[in-house]
Structure 1
Amino acid sequence: MRFSGESGNVTSGIPFGLASALSQAGSVLVAAPVMLDGADLISATFVRSLAGSLSLLLTVVLSTERKAQIRSMPMPIARQVFSSAVIGTGLGMTLQLYAPSGGPVGVVSALTATTPLVILPLIWFFGKAHPPGLAWVGAICAVAGVALIVNAG
């Protein structure tokens, strides 16, 4: 059984991962000057969250299979997804938009990119699912890369 539970081709997710990374980097570069000019933190978080939500909903709207999965989602899972979105996205994006006021944009961007890496042990502990070895190797390489970036200056 694969870690994600999906049975599709792994390589089909690579373009989505690359697009996600590019969008993440671009959003930090766009947000930094706006936030340094004194934009309202809550409004900026709302706009950024709305843009991200709409892009994710687009993939759902274009996929009949995903629509069926969402309709059949058990209520406890739906509550968990909603809580994750509110806490993770709401709080996370707010702090990420606030962070450039206290440090260089490149360092902030590198540090926020480590979020998925922190999720691996949480999935293992709370989800009772063991991520594959290559996921751990990738996470270790990414943490080492971020450590090099942060400590380079």
Structure 2
Amino acid sequence: MFISEALALGSATCIALSSMFINELNGRVPLMRLARWQLTAGLLITALAATIVGGWATLGSWQIWALAASGAVGIALASTTYFAAIYAAGPRVTALLFTLTSPFALALGYLALGETINLRQGLGVALILLGVLVAIGVRRRRPAPMIPLSDEQPIETPAPDEKRATLAGIALGAVTALGQAIGTLLARPAMASGVEPFTAMAVRSGLAVLCIWALLILPAVRRRTAPARKVDLLVAIAAAFFGPALGMSLLMAALETGDVGIVSTLSSMTPVVILPMVWLRSGRMPRPLAWAGAALAIVGTALTIA
């Protein structure tokens, strides 16, 4: 009965794990190189999975166009601005802004598809958003390192003008949230028609990969290319498996039967799910407010899927 909700929560968990891998590359891999690695690996993984399960037969011409448009906005644009927002404003501010995906998706689902939610579900969505805001709203102890947009040597310290970097991060984070919401909305009709999830992600990733590699024609993107390290590539592939491949495929599967707003809200719990992962990785327990936010989000989830 609650398959779409479980799939959305599974997507949040996979994307949280992917974020942990991406964080390992912070300060080591430039933004555009990371985007190329991520999207290309995600395309290869999902295309192979789609071939194994015979998913290509579920595609029609209009689904291809709808999913390609979804990929252009929700992957090519939103993924790149997501990485850029992390490097410009830090993971905490970016995660905070990413929660805007839920209200964006709710509004778009209502305006474009006529989707509605009842009072209990609305309260659950509000508690999830509040929980995420509380969990990730604690000020970071120090700013995250910055990485340039081009393939040059990483910058190990933050930009000197913190205010300007923060404003840039806010803008990039808002664009990410809106792009993700629009991409989800565009994919919903195709998924409701029965397209296999891995196949849907392969189509979405295909156009995104073409776009991201086409950017190499820009001198600012390809200048001063530094040698890539094998270990960094392996970490990026692992991140792609759990993020663009498995995590986003679970999101596509959730859209087959779930409302855009509810699915987007549940999948936005990534910042809450990541708390125990950060604890295990760093050995430092998150602050009490973070756990309080997680508790609110869990209560909200229960109301949403009850």
User: What TM-score comes out, normalization by structure 1 length?
Assistant: 0.69
Give the unaligned 5+ runs of structure 1: none
Q: Is the 8 A contact 2:192 2:257 kept in 1?
A: no
Confirm whether residue 108 of structure 1 aligns to residue 280 of structure 2: no
Give 2:86's aligned residue: none
Q: Secondary structure at the match of 2:189?
A: helix
Q: Secondary structure at the match of 1:101?
A: coil
Distance 1:132 1:102, change over 3 A: same
State the partner residue of 2:254.
99
Secondary structure of 1:119's match?
Answer: helix
TM-score scaled to structure 2, two decimals? Answer: 0.39
Q: Using a 3 Å threshold, how does the CA distance of structure 1 residues 17 and 75 change in structure 2: closer, same or farther?
A: same
Q: 1:67 to 1:94 in 2, by over 3 A?
A: farther
SS in 2 for 1:38: coil
8 A contact 1:107–1:149 mirrored in 2: no
Change beyond 3 A, Cα 1:29–1:79: same
**What secondary structure is seen at the aligned counterpart in 1 of 2:255?**
helix
C-alpha distance in 2, partners of 1:55/1:129? 39
Equivalent runs, 1:124-135 vs 2, <5 Å: 124-126=279-281, 128=282
C-alpha deviation, 1:23, in angstroms: 1.1
8 Å CA contact 2:188–2:255 kept in 1: the answer is: yes
User: C-alpha root-mean-square deviation of aligned residues, in Å?
Assistant: 4.0
Q: Is contact 1:28–1:105 with CA below 8 Å preserved after alignment?
A: yes
Q: What letter matches 1:25 in structure 2?
A: A
Q: Which moved more, 1:114-123 or 1:143-152?
A: 143-152
CA contact (8 A) 2:269 2:297 kept: no
Tell me which residue corresponds to 1:118. 273
Aligned position for 2:303: 151
Query: Using the alignment, how far apart are the partners of 1:38 and 1:85 within structure 2?
Result: 25
Tell me which residue corresponds to 2:166. 10
Between the aligned partners of 2:212 and 2:268, the Cα distance in structure 1 is 18
* Structure 1 partner of 2:178: 22
Paired letter, 1:83:
A
User: Deviation string for 1:48-80 (max 9, x for gaps)?
Assistant: 234555666688876858965x73553222211
How many residues in Structure 1 have an aligned counterpart in Structure 2?
148
Distance in 1 (alpha carbons) for counterparts of 2:233 and 2:180: 25
Larger Rg: 2
- Report which structure shows greater RCO (CA 8 Å, sep ≥6): 2
> Would the alpha carbon gap of residues 24 and 130 (structure 1) be closer, same or farther in structure 2, given more than 3 Å must change?
farther
Distance change (3 Å), C-alpha of 1:83 and 1:41: same
Q: CA deviation at 1:46?
A: 1.1
CA–CA separation in structure 2 for the residues paired with 1:13 and 1:31: 27
C-alpha contact (below 8 Å) 1:32/1:100 kept by paired residues: yes
Quick one: distance in 2 between partners of 1:130 and 1:60? 40
For structure 2, the residue ranges without an aligned partner over 5 or more in a row are 1-140, 147-157, 160-164
Identify if the C-alpha distance between structure 1 residues 32 and 131 changes in structure 2 by more than 3 Å, giving closer, same or farther: farther
